[in-house]
Structure 1
Amino acid sequence: MQLVSSNKGKLPRYMGSSSILILFLQFLSFFTFFMFVPTISTHFNQTVGFSVGFVGLILAVRIISQQGIMIIGGFLADRIGFKRTALIGFLMRGIGFASLGLTTHPMLIIVAAILTGLGGALFSPALKANLTALTPPERHKEVFSLMNIVENAGTVLGPLAGLYFKDESFLILSVLAGGLFVFLSIVVFFLPQATLPSKTSSWIQESTDIVKNKQFMLLTISLVPFHFIYQQLYLTIPIVADKVSGSSGWIFSYVTIIIILFQWPLLLYTKKRRIEHLFICSYFVILAMLLPNAIENQLWSLVLTLTGIAIGAMVLLPVFQSYVAKIAPKESLGAYFGFSNMAMALGGSLGNLAGGFLYDFFVKIHSPDKFWLALSLFTLLPIVLLFKVQFYQPKQGN
């Protein structure tokens, strides 16, 4: 299936203006986020003088208030509308980002961090549910692959834009980032208002129905190890990169460029294969590319690890989002997308806490190579779990 239609220069019919607008919103939100957020720790630690522990608390509060609350954002989107929920979310993040540069009072900083997280918890499931509603079911995997590409493009270009701002320009950068999210809330006005099916079940009943979908739950749980491993890009992999190459600034650029270049060809190769088979194959690839680091930490073994993580991101994330779009009832799209994010919340949190503890432990006993062996073995858990998935047939969305 081609990315463009037979009419040269035109986008395929399933990519209407509203779908393109949502992809633009996703790109600019990722671009702005990664332009601003990497400067937070440096500013509050080195310029303002807060401890590293307090800076870690700021970042943890933002993550928890977004990833842990996203299911509520999904429930809300199903009830008041995708457009309205996204608009409120963008406004909240805009106010939160701008506030981080306007205050140095600890409690106000925490409140601002919570606002930024809650904003993401609202607009993220709302936009994904809206994109699903606007796209023909047979094109979900393609459009979510495109979303993965534009998100990674924002991830690459955002930090490059942030380099133009010096440490003393944090106030300007925070207000600019906040202003861009307010601008996104204005852009949301141009999205069509999706017609929501009437809701007859309560939030509790809807949550119960989601948990009873065994295949969905197993696939969601099986993504936890991937997010655990992916989080090492922020935590332990930069340490290894500094040792073997003298710098860690290139690792994100490498991963995201791989995704941008190979996401679409990989989609064409995998789109007709069963989701559990794709998950199992992806974890075997990640396993194979983590093991060399357990033998020796060299540049070539690190590049293999990064490539394995990139392949996992290219296969697991868009395939899973397409699956969620396929099995979620129309009246519960937001709730399913919000609940599916629990894998990232749990895996990311454990990746930071348990990942850091494990790395420190193995370094302390002079066996850092065993950390990578432990990560490799961790990939076997979802492989075992995924063999059970095939016994549960998904319930199709209404």
Structure 2
Amino acid sequence: MATSTIAAPRTGLFSDLPRTFWIVAAGTLANRIGTMVVPFLVFFLGAQGVSTSATGTIVVALGFGGAAGSVAGGWLADRIGPRSALIVGLVAAPAALGALYVAPTIALMTVAAVLVGLTGKLYPPAANALVAASVTGERRTRAFSLMHWAFNIGAAGAAAMAGFLAAHGYALLFAIDGITCLIFAVIAAMFLPRVATARRANERGGYGVLFADRLMLAFIGLDLAQEIVYSLTEYAIPLSIRLDNLSPAVFGAVAVVNAVLVVLLQPVLYPRLARFGRLQVLAGAWIVVGVGIGTTGLVHTPVGYALSAAIWSVGEVAAGIVAGGIAADLAPAHAQGRYQGAMIWAGSLARLAGPALTTFLFAYAGPGAVWWTAALTGVIGALLLARLMPALRTRLATPA
């Protein structure tokens, strides 16, 4: 039975988790370490002589592809099974990366960027669905917390390696990205079990099951708003640093602070937060992230930016501990892939909406409006989540 509390692990954070989980987690970690093309896409395009405006178009195309890919990946996981969907995505991704690397024109680069975004988001819903199918109860919450941890360890490793490798040619970034996908695909094909799809006889397999779930739609809407707030760390904060006439190295330091804190704090905070209900933890995390990002408007020095990053990083850790497990427990077994795809879609859409919101507010309302919006969104989101808590607790206490 899935409960609304986290529940402290009885045997340790890393104990009592099945083989399927460890294969998916290890593959996710390795694949994330190898994900180097997207973070350095702007620099790659610049080296190809692509103009600033065309670069913006290609980056937006990548985002649209990612949003579509998460939806398609969730549908595919429920249609052909999460293991098969995982393999399809991992095999398709290197082909799309290769197409982007050799594309000779802006138009073809744009098409290839859509494919890179699409294929790169095909397999995460399947990976999450495999985790959800392999564990239940407290172990499911713990498993998704560790998946978030592995993802961030991989991101930190990628950031540490990518700059050095890029200096020796962007071909290395594309090659490593593609090879890690194929290695994960081979491991999945050899060692992951087939998970039978649980489609209902009268169920067509589309997203109607999700659209009929008003509680899940409300939760996704709240999560989308918070994802947009978090996306400000990737665009609004570096823009603020630039406007303060500080070096790009300051943003690099912010990224390091965030990565180190997430990697170090996640296993430490999990048992300490286990005494609280996970919905309360999530609401508190949204407030900390929103207010933490909002404090960016108060700082104008490298130390100030680092301290602000420390605040919202703690909120990110707390949210990462509980959010994935909540979505998995809300999903019926026959639609686990689509529910996970919808959650990943929210993150992808936020990466499109965040820069647009930042640009609009900076231009027409001033930087302060960005930071007040972040803080208020976090607080209001937590209050709205509190309104949903009775209904969410009832669903989370009932096996899907």
TM-score (norm 2): 0.88
Aligned 8 A contact 1:73 1:125 in 2: yes
Q: Distance in 2 between matches of 1:289 and 1:356?
A: 20
Offset of residue 240 of structure 1 = 3.2
Question: SS at 2:178's partner residue?
Answer: helix
Q: How do 1:256-335 residues align onto structure 2 when only pairs under 5 Å count?
A: 256-335=259-338
Q: Distance in 1 between matches of 2:143 and 2:245?
A: 38
Q: Distance in 2 between matches of 1:179 and 1:27?
A: 14
Offset of residue 166 of structure 1 = 4.0
Question: SS at 1:199's partner residue?
Answer: coil
Q: Distance in 2 between matches of 1:310 and 1:221?
A: 22
Per-residue CA deviation, residues 214-252 of structure 1 (Å, 9 max, x unaligned), is 332222211223211221222121233453753221222
Q: Structure 1: which amino acid aligns with 2:267?
A: W
2:371 corresponds to: 372
Aligned 8 A contact 2:44 2:170 in 1: yes
Relative distance call for 1:288 and 1:74 in structure 2 (3 A) is closer
Q: After the TM superposition, which of the residue ranges 159-168 and 221-230 deviates more from structure 2?
A: 159-168
Q: Distance in 2 between matches of 1:291 and 1:170?
A: 36
Q: Structure 1: which amino acid aligns with 2:196?
A: T
Relative distance call for 1:201 and 1:209 in structure 2 (3 A) is same
Q: How do 1:163-312 residues align onto structure 2 when only pairs under 5 Å count?
A: 163-166=163-166, 169-189=169-189, 190-203=191-204, 207-242=207-242, 243=244, 246=247, 247=249, 248-312=251-315
Offset of residue 58 of structure 1 = 1.7
2:364 corresponds to: 361
* Structure 1 stretches lacking a partner, 5+ long: none
Per-residue CA deviation, residues 74-120 of structure 1 (Å, 9 max, x unaligned), is 12111201111111101111111122222322233223222222223
2:353 corresponds to: 350
| Aligned Cα root-mean-square deviation (Å) | 2.5
Question: SS at 1:38's partner residue?
Answer: coil
Aligned 8 A contact 2:224 2:350 in 1: yes
Relative distance call for 1:172 and 1:390 in structure 2 (3 A) is closer
Q: Distance in 2 between matches of 1:219 and 1:165?
A: 40
Q: Distance in 2 between matches of 1:96 and 1:341?
A: 20
1:24 to 23, 26, 40: 26
Aligned 8 A contact 1:41 1:55 in 2: yes
Q: Distance in 1 between matches of 2:131 and 2:174?
A: 29
Q: Distance in 1 between matches of 2:240 and 2:277?
A: 35
Q: Distance in 2 between matches of 1:309 and 1:84?
A: 37
Q: After the TM superposition, which of the residue ranges 271-280 and 65-74 deviates more from structure 2?
A: 271-280
Q: Distance in 2 between matches of 1:294 and 1:198?
A: 49
Aligned 8 A contact 1:286 1:305 in 2: no
Offset of residue 322 of structure 1 = 0.4
Relative distance call for 1:357 and 1:187 in structure 2 (3 A) is same
Aligned 8 A contact 1:75 1:203 in 2: no
Q: Structure 1: which amino acid aligns with 2:39?
A: P
Per-residue CA deviation, residues 264-284 of structure 1 (Å, 9 max, x unaligned), is 222222235334322322233
Per-residue CA deviation, residues 57-88 of structure 1 (Å, 9 max, x unaligned), is 22221222122341231121112011111111
Q: Distance in 1 between matches of 2:246 and 2:145?
A: 31
* Structure 2 stretches lacking a partner, 5+ long: 1-7
Aligned 8 A contact 2:297 2:368 in 1: yes
Aligned 8 A contact 1:224 1:347 in 2: yes
Question: SS at 2:86's partner residue?
Answer: helix
2:43 corresponds to: 42
Aligned 8 A contact 1:81 1:193 in 2: yes
Question: SS at 2:395's partner residue?
Answer: coil
Q: After the TM superposition, which of the residue ranges 69-78 and 251-260 deviates more from structure 2?
A: 69-78
Relative distance call for 1:375 and 1:296 in structure 2 (3 A) is same
Aligned 8 A contact 1:100 1:109 in 2: yes
Q: Distance in 2 between matches of 1:215 and 1:60?
A: 30
Relative distance call for 1:193 and 1:278 in structure 2 (3 A) is same
Q: Structure 1: which amino acid aligns with 2:385?
A: L
Offset of residue 260 of structure 1 = 0.9
Per-residue CA deviation, residues 167-223 of structure 1 (Å, 9 max, x unaligned), is 56123432332222222221211211112224324447x633323333322222112
Q: Distance in 2 between matches of 1:314 and 1:80?
A: 33
Q: Distance in 2 between matches of 1:69 and 1:163?
A: 27
1:54 corresponds to: 54
Q: Distance in 2 between matches of 1:301 and 1:203?
A: 53
Offset of residue 32 of structure 1 = 1.4
Question: SS at 1:192's partner residue?
Answer: coil
Q: Tell me how many residue pairs correspond in the alignment.
A: 386
1:339 to 339, 342, 346: 342
2:381 corresponds to: 382
Q: Distance in 2 between matches of 1:5 and 1:311?
A: 22
Q: How do 1:44-193 residues align onto structure 2 when only pairs under 5 Å count?
A: 44-45=45-46, 47-166=47-166, 169-189=169-189, 190-193=191-194
Per-residue CA deviation, residues 103-147 of structure 1 (Å, 9 max, x unaligned), is 322233223222222223320100000011112322111111111
Identity %: 18
TM-score (norm 1): 0.88
Q: Distance in 1 between matches of 2:129 and 2:41?
A: 30
Q: Distance in 2 between matches of 1:171 and 1:179?
A: 12
Per-residue CA deviation, residues 142-164 of structure 1 (Å, 9 max, x unaligned), is 11111111111111110221122
Offset of residue 362 of structure 1 = 4.4
* Higher relative contact order (CA closer than 8 Å, sequence separation 6+): 2
Q: Distance in 2 between matches of 1:313 and 1:95?
A: 33
